[in-house]
Chains A and B, each alone.
Chain A
């Protein structure tokens, strides 16, 4: 915060610098993959990469939504709970015998509605996003156990079909439908951020909300929109998670918001807003996925090493962003 003087001298070559974090993430991903391939023969199987996508498809979708929020300089802590609530609501409604299409529509409406409400409170009443989304997180998690204290299995035909459908080549490599949905979300989000008015507004507000307002940009509408988008992405993520686990559990995806924020930061998006790419977020999610795969392959390392490594990586990437001096206030 007191670093204006540090960064002042380095404003030359600004454009390429903006890409450095993403390139560093890409390099890290390749290095980690290289380590995996050199250590374990089974790692070179293409299916390993596909599995990373299959296991982290929902994380990817949620992280894309979080990228929008973080780009405006906000934060959304409610994503993990909204994911769980969406999965829980779908499971409960399906259990009551509601048709799958209707359940899908209802489940996809809950997240954006909550996001819209949180966005309105943040904008109209000027309460910090951190607190509002924290309340949203409590609310959604509370709703989960309110619906049911125990896990609800899903036996619906559509859900099981989506879960078991494998799209692959004759050699046996496959991806699930969730991965395709995740890709579609990523492509749409990347398009919206890069080529639409909304996307430019998001970057402008993240850069400097006051200037954006003075320029006549719809700050309020955009800010509410990003929380709604994040809610929608969490809802889609929740549906994908319910495809993946075929159940709704009240305590699923606890602490997921941290993974999501970590993925977005490792992907090069700056938390003060205004700089970052959806592509970086994809890389960030892949880095987390590959770390988990490496630790699973190793076998002797315990699960807590995942956390320590993620913490270390967070540190390294933030230090990198700091050193190259992009847009830190």
Chain B
């Protein structure tokens, strides 16, 4: 009995337990509501089905959230990713639409390289503002969030640019090994980031900078460079996500592309257990968080509720997941239910929250 209880405790105490449980409950509820929900079928050598759709549609969010995880773990926040998605998509589509042969691979590669280059520059701009000039991250990236939306509209001249390019379209809708290409791109990015952060010292350095950037600097870590790097990586991830979003619809809309994706990404990161105060990050949690958000969106669409009303559900899920994970809430909850004295105050006192 005692053994089961302790095992139960270790399991619920695992950082991935609650996000995974929420995801599982949502999938189960969907399957009960719509028995065909989990069915996958093979058509023309491609797999189709709602789970595949969820994976495909969550790919841009996963990408953005990966970059966001690194930024948040340095104790920062990047609000500009949505605008960066719009800018990268706009530049790529603008360049392709001006070429005589839109389907040529060379054209698409050039377009992607150009857009990626601009995004890296903008990411570096964020990085310089935060790491060199020392502006608060939330404000430093707010500049680009507001101005970037304007820049994207400036690039597209306020129009929606449609293109007809097969290779570009493949980024969003192409298939490989029966699965959508977007899934592989997101997976590759996740593995790349995971390899660089968990197989090298980079991850620990990022966490130490997020924990205390001054102390890390005194310990010999170039905090500034690490923070700068995080913003550049975030911009690169956002750029790829921007390609996917525009490729999905074969058009670039400076106004609507990537709108509010920064909020979804921050949510995904927080649901995944990464603290907004910085210092620790969980890539796997972030990916589950992104899947939760996309599953929620798909569920709401499938239930024929207007997309705006889905925000109600999102609010409930967000607050529920955050409450479950909040130590203060857990302490209260367990105290009341089991009627045992609360655990001794945790040694590490909550950090002063700078960004928000």
Contact = CB atoms under 8 A, between A and B. Distances in A.
A264 B22 CA distance: 38
A1 B209 CA distance: 11
Interface in B170-210: none
A contact face: mostly helix, strand, loop, or mixed: helix
A305 interface: yes
A128 interface: yes
B contact face: mostly helix, strand, loop, or mixed: helix
B151 A318 contact: no
B138 A127 contact: no
A2 B270 CA distance: 25
B356 A128 contact: yes
B2 interface: no
Interface in B124-158: 129-131, 133-136, 138-140, 142-151, 153-154, 158
Nearest to A133: B356
A304 B154 contact: yes
A140 B136 CA distance: 28
B323 A130 contact: no
> Among B327, B329, B354, B356, which residue has the most Cβ atoms of chain A within 10 A?
B356
A306 B150 CA distance: 8
B349 to A, nearest CB: 9
Interface stretch (A35-43, A231-239, A307-315): A307-315
Interface residues of B, number: 62
B16 interface: no
Nearest to A149: B306
A302 B147 CA distance: 14
Interface residues of A, number: 58
A135 B135 CA distance: 26
B158 A304 contact: yes
> Among A2, A73, A272, A308, which residue has the most Cβ atoms of chain B within 10 A?
A2
Contact of A2 (B145, B213, B306, B332): B213
Contacts of B277: 128
Interface of B: 75, 77, 129-131, 133-136, 138-140, 142-151, 153-154, 158, 213-214, 217, 223-224, 254, 263, 266-267, 270, 276-277, 306, 308-316, 318-319, 322-323, 326-329, 332, 350, 352-356
14 contacts: A1-B136, A1-B354, A2-B217, A73-B353, A130-B266, A138-B311, A139-B311, A145-B308, A146-B309, A262-B146, A305-B154, A311-B147, A315-B143, A315-B147
Given A126-B350, A128-B356, A135-B322, 6 more contacts: A128-B270, A128-B353, A138-B318, A146-B312, A314-B146, A315-B129
List 3 tightest A-B contacts by C-beta distance, closest first: A311-B147, A307-B150, A142-B312
